[in-house]
Chain A
């Protein structure tokens, strides 16, 4: 007998009721979709304690339906609330080495289940936040405030956004407790435009170890100086990737993109570029020595 999608929905409902987990289902977030040749079900629970038992019901049902030639795909997830975000210290890799990131602990709660996740906030993301807040020079006190307040709030928003995603894009803090908050994620949290994001990425790429020499080499060949941001922009065009492929017919010039930014975004981008130059002077002085005219 071939079941209709309504009958399958009822079957799953009945099994959830029989297992005593029906009351924990959040109806507003759960969904049942009949997608051409498959059924997709998303069961969202108010209490993460029951995720495993509901997953088993769904797995068993999918197995039975498979024998009838029906494909059932599903997601079981829980709604989580953020209880606290706190700064732990510098990030460390698995072997204990220091990473260019700050480490935050996030306490989450779903029903009776509490869980800890963590977020590594990358150097680029922190730099963006500093520039955005005009915090270029930090005292010991303002650094502490920056870490425990400003960045913690950004991490809170980031986690909130991750938790808001449902369907197949949902984030399970239990399965994947460690998250990375890079420049792009930070820019998204602050609602920066796509164009700003592309240019920010191009600046970041210019200072990547694999690119840095060719970037400054091309500035030297075309006799451009670092003080002239307009001249630097022309070279950044070569680093626009992704949707702005070289030779593409739409918006390939960094200069053109820069003109689309509002004044505050233009200033922010310039400041970021020159902050990276300052770091370069201390971390890679050989580049300054190799291309003296660019830095003159």
Chain B
């Protein structure tokens, strides 16, 4: 059944936000700890909004689910399976985003205080995440 124009607009708006966050989640080779934290946090929310956009097209109660990260992750896992990278990546990025936003000593505890290592690891994570993000984005895009 085709989606209502209103729902299509909502999905399009979510996708624009998701893509905007993804495009600005850049990690430069000389970025500061705070720029790195911002980018990783944005990266999670890019996935968050793209997932909500996709699930909105197929499930009715997503407005409620989108207020609970755990419930949203379970829905993503139900949609894509347990082993698909997207499902695992969503949880991984969520944990990372919490550390970036709340843990004052994240750089020390996670990367041994080595900003170089943090940048390197994060750049690789971003590259891996981008492919998965495009997948989510294009799956949702099909409904527009």
Mark A117-161 against chain B: 1 for CB-CB distance below 8 A, else 0: 000000000000000000000000000000000000000000000
Is B144 positioned at the interface, with any CB of A under 8 Å from its CB?
A: yes
Query: For the complex, what is the distance from the CA of A40 to the CA of B141, rounded to whole Å?
Result: 26
Mark A27-63 against chain B: 1 for CB-CB distance below 8 A, else 0: 0111101011000101010000000000000000000
Task: Number of A interface residues at 8 Å Cβ cutoff, please give it.
Answer: 33
Is A221 positioned at the interface, with any CB of B under 8 Å from its CB?
A: no
Is A228 positioned at the interface, with any CB of B under 8 Å from its CB?
A: no
Is B111 positioned at the interface, with any CB of A under 8 Å from its CB?
A: no
Interface centre among B78, B87, B135 (most CB of A within 10 A): B78
CB proximity of B114 to chain A, nearest CB, Å: 30
Chain B residues numbered 72-93 whose CB sits less than 8 Å from any CB in chain A: 74-75, 77-84, 87
A33 contacts B78, C-beta separation under 8 Å? yes
CB proximity of A260 to chain B, nearest CB, Å: 8
A166 contacts B80, C-beta separation under 8 Å? yes
Is A97 positioned at the interface, with any CB of B under 8 Å from its CB?
A: no
A42 contacts B144, C-beta separation under 8 Å? no
Residues of B within 8 A of A191 (CB): 131, 134
CB proximity of B71 to chain A, nearest CB, Å: 7
A31 contacts B77, C-beta separation under 8 Å? yes
Chain A residues numbered 1-48 whose CB sits less than 8 Å from any CB in chain B: 28-31, 33, 35-36, 40, 42, 44
CB proximity of A166 to chain B, nearest CB, Å: 2
Is A243 positioned at the interface, with any CB of B under 8 Å from its CB?
A: yes
B77 contacts A250, C-beta separation under 8 Å? no
Query: For the complex, what is the distance from the CA of A260 to the CA of B20, rounded to whole Å?
Result: 13
Is B110 positioned at the interface, with any CB of A under 8 Å from its CB?
A: no
Which residue of chain A is the closest to B139 with respect to CB atoms?
Answer: A169
B82 contacts A241, C-beta separation under 8 Å? no
A169 contacts B80, C-beta separation under 8 Å? yes
- Main SS of chain A's interface residues? mixed
Q: How large is the interface on B (under 10, 10 to 19, 20 to 34, 35 or more residues)?
A: 20 to 34
Which residue of chain A is the closest to B58 with respect to CB atoms?
Answer: A168
A30 contacts B82, C-beta separation under 8 Å? yes
Q: Which of B15, B131, B134 contacts A243 (CB 8 A)?
A: B15
Residues of B within 8 A of A165 (CB): 80-81, 84
Mark B30-43 against chain A: 1 for CB-CB distance below 8 A, else 0: 00000000000000
Chain A residues numbered 205-249 whose CB sits less than 8 Å from any CB in chain B: 241-245, 248-249
Q: Which of B81, B133, B137 contacts A166 (CB 8 A)?
A: B81
Query: For the complex, what is the distance from the CA of A44 to the CA of B80, rounded to whole Å?
Result: 13
Query: For the complex, what is the distance from the CA of A194 to the CA of B132, rounded to whole Å?
Result: 11
Mark A277-292 against chain B: 1 for CB-CB distance below 8 A, else 0: 0000000000000000
A-B contact pairs, 14 of them (CB 8 A): A30-B82, A35-B74, A35-B75, A42-B81, A165-B84, A166-B83, A167-B79, A167-B87, A169-B80, A169-B139, A250-B20, A251-B16, A251-B20, A260-B23
Known: A188-B134, A194-B19. 6 other contacts (CB 8 A): A40-B78, A165-B80, A169-B80, A245-B12, A248-B12, A251-B19
Ranked 9 nearest A-B pairs via Cβ: A166-B81, A243-B15, A242-B144, A167-B81, A31-B82, A250-B16, A167-B80, A243-B12, A167-B79
